[in-house]
Each structure stands twice: as structure tokens, then as C-alpha cells.
């Protein structure tokens, strides 16, 4: 069954290769999209090569809406975005994928239906199809090699959709099998080093000892330490002391 998430429909117009349809389905499902519409696939439908390429996203193909003509594929939509890399001589807003998906998210949140249309692999969308769109999506690519594979274009737009709907974590640090060290653990580590270094005569001259200890505490507080890091740093210091005591 389709997800309940409000989202745009991705319309593949006259796709030529089943493999590209399957790859587009995978790209959509990677980013939580499952509303695929197909307009007159060249090799007929269903397509075994599409199903093989879709892998775990095969249900998108099973539930894809098949349309004989392009107008039928967007008939229920209030806002249509056309993807194209070639200038068409049409007066129409040209949007980056980021801007386009921001607008799409706003319109869908307001209850509108949005479609993004993708043309066939060899020549892209016809002017008559682009003329029915409200705006164009243009991906900033190398002008000397602007042609994108169908599935690549689908993936780029789908990724921007996920970004605009707030589901992207832009930065995180994986802590593995351990959690972050708490303040008490950092304090105990600082005490261990301060006491050991004090015995070793590190805080010299005495007039600078207090500021050196503050700087050392500040060093520990600036470090993002996990509980495993703290245990390892305790162990390193203990082993160094044992080594010194053995006189090796």
C-alpha cells in the first residue's frame, strides 16, 4: 500500500528502457516517495527488466498508475514541474531542484496536488508537454555535458524533496557501541591527569601552575569524548605510570 505521506507524483513520460524505470523506482523509494505514474512506456507494461532493476522497490511498479497519454497523467494536479536540460524558448520560471521542491512542499502542505514530469531518455520532453507545466526544473550541471540519466534525475529531485520536508540530518557523529561521556566522567579524567602530572612535576614554574591546570581542564571540555575514549585515556596514563615505575 502507498504511504500516507503527502508527496508529489513522479511522472515518467514515454520511458524507453525497463531498467531505467526500475532504477527510478529505487531512487524514489530511497527518499520515501512511492507515487509513480507511467505514460506509454516504449516496451509495454508490466516490464520484467524494470522489476528486476527495482529490487526492493518493486511494489512502486506494482502500484504505478499507467496512462496512455500525457495529459491524463497530470489531469488531477494543480501544479506541474517539468525537468529539462535544454533551452526551449518558452517563457516560464526555471527553478533549481531545491527551490522547486520547496515550492512543491508548500503547495502540497496547502492541499494541492503536484506532479514532476521526466521525459524519455533519448530526447527528453516535447515542447508541447513542457508548455503544460507551471515551471521548469533545471539541474546545475556541466554545460558541456548536461544530459542526465533518467534515474539520476529522479534521484536528484527526490533527494531535494526529502531535504525540504525536514527529514535530512545534516550532521551527526556516530558513537559506535558507547555513549557520550558525562561531565562527572570528564571531571574524573581531568583529576586523574592533573594529579599524575602534578606528581611528575609538570606544573612548573609554580607561579603558572594554576593557569596551566585551568588550560588542561579547558582542553578536556573542548574534546567530544565518548565513555570508551575516557576509559582508554585513563588506561594510557595508568600504563605510562607503570612503565615508569618498572624503570624500563
pLDDT, one tens digit per residue, over 205-247 is: 999 999 999 999 999 999 999 999 999 999 999 999 998 888 7
82: its cell numbers = 517539468
pTM attached to this predicted model: 0.75
Residue 235 counted as domain residue: yes
227: its cell numbers = 565513555
Residues 13 and 68 in one domain: yes
Mean pLDDT of 85-109: 90
Residues 221 and 104 in one domain: no
* Cβ contacts of 227 within 8 Å, gap of 6 or more: 178, 179, 180, 181, 185
Residues 135 and 236 in one domain: no
Higher pLDDT, 35 or 1: 35
Percent of the chain with pLDDT over 90: 78
Residue 3 counted as domain residue: no
Say how many C-beta atoms besides its own lie within 10 A of residue 204's C-beta: 10
pLDDT, one tens digit per residue, over 66-79 is: 999 999 999 999 99
Return the ∠ at Cα 40 (arms to 114 and 97), rounded to 5°.
Answer: 35
* CA–CA distance, 209 with 216 (Å, rounded to integer): 11
Domain count, the chain: 2
Residues 52 and 160 in one domain: yes
Mean pLDDT of 40-53: 94
* CA–CA distance, 28 with 160 (Å, rounded to integer): 11
* CA–CA distance, 215 with 190 (Å, rounded to integer): 11
Q: Domain of 143?
A: 9-164
Contact 73, 39 (CB under 8 A): yes
pLDDT, one tens digit per residue, over 137-156 is: 998 888 888 778 999 999 99
* CA–CA distance, 248 with 245 (Å, rounded to integer): 8
Residues 45 and 142 in one domain: yes
Which stretches within 78-226 are classed as H helix? 97-109, 127-130, 150-164, 183-199, 209-222
Residue 145 counted as domain residue: yes
Res 170: pLDDT: 74
Contact 183, 223 (CB under 8 A): no
| pLDDT over 50 (residue 1) | no
Residues 153 and 234 in one domain: no
Amino acid at each position: 500500500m502507498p504511504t500516507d505521506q503527502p508527496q508529489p507524483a513522479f511522472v515518467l513520460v514515454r520511458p524507453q528502457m525497463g531498467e531505467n524505470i526500475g532504477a527510478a523506482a529505487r531512487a524514489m523509494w530511497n527518499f520515501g516517495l512511492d507515487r509513480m505514474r507511467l505514460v506509454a512506456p516504449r516496451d509495454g507494461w508490466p516490464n520484467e527488466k524494470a522489476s528486476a532493476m527495482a529490487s526492493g522497490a518493486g511494489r512502486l511498479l506494482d502500484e504505478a498508475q499507467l496512462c496512455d497519454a500525457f495529459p491524463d497523467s497530470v489531469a488531477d494536479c494543480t501544479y506541474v514541474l517539468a525537468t529539462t536540460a535544454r533551452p526551449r524558448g518558452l517563457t516560464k520560471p526555471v527553478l533549481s531542484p531545491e527551490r522547486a521542491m520547496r515550492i512543491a512542499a508548500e503547495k502540497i502542505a496547502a492541499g494541492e496536488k503536484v506532479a514532476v514530469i521526466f521525459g524519455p531518455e533519448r530526447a527528453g520532453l516535447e515542447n508541447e508537454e513542457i508548455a503544460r507545466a507551471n515551471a521548469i526544473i533545471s539541474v546545475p550541471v556541466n554545460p558541456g555535458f548536461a544530459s542526465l540519466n533518467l534515474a539520476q534525475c529522479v534521484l536528484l529531485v527526490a533527494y531535494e524533496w526529502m531535504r525540504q520536508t525536514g527529514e535530512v540530518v545534516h550532521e551527526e557523529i556516530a558513537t559506535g557501541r558507547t555513549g557520550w561521556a558525562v561531565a562527572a566522567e570528564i571531571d574524573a579524567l581531568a583529576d586523574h591527569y592533573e594529579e599524575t602530572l602534578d606528581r611528575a612535576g609538570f606544573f612548573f614554574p609554580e607561579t603558572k601552575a594554576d593557569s596551566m591546570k585551568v588550560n588542561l581542564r579547558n582542553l578536556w571540555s573542548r574534546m567530544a569524548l565518548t565513555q570508551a575514549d575516557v576509559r582508554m585515556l585513563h588506561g594510557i596514563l595508568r600504563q605510562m605510570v607503570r612503565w615508569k615505575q618498572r624503570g624500563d
